[in-house]
């Protein structure tokens, strides 16, 4: 679970997760393009690739190959395990 918190601690990685929530199944090129156009993040492809590696190590992102392209998908299971461990009380009106 520590890897999940480490992965979530970086704002760029949180934006990457937001982008995968908005449109799952993106290549590195697509993610870099969306970060630049929608968020003004002009990180190099290598830097974004390193962020994706951290997210994969935390199992927040899973990837598969399509030919020479690696496609990235959001995995919310680690986040669910956090909510299961520390459930939020329901608000009663």
pLDDT at residue 93, as a whole number: 56
Instruction: For residues 33 and 6, give the distance between their C-alpha atoms in angstroms, rounded to a whole number.
Output: 24
Residue 68 has what DSSP assignment?
T
- Return the ∠ at Cα 40 (arms to 31 and 47), rounded to 5°: 50
pLDDT at residue 8, rounded to an integer: 96
Residue 11 CA to residue 70 CA, distance in Å, equals 23
pTM of the predicted structure, to 2 decimals: 0.87
Q: Are strands 26-27 and 69-74 parallel, antiparallel or unpaired?
A: antiparallel
CB burial of residue 46 (10 Å; 0-12, 13-18, 19+): exposed
The pLDDT tens digits of the residues spanning 6-64 come to 999 999 999 999 999 999 999 999 999 999 999 999 899 999 999 999 999 999 999 99
């Amino acid at each position: 679970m520590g890897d999940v918190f480490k992965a979530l601690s970086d704002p760029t990685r949180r934006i990457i997760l937001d982008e995968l929530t908005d449109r799952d199944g993106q290549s590195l090129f697509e993610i870099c393009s969306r970060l630049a156009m929608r968020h003004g993040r002009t990180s190099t492809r290598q830097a974004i690739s390193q962020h994706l590696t951290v997210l994969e190590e935390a199992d927040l992102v899973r990837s598969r190959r399509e030919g020479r392209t690696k496609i990235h998908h959001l995995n919310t299971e680690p986040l669910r395990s956090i909510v299961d461990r520390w459930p939020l009380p329901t608000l009663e009106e």
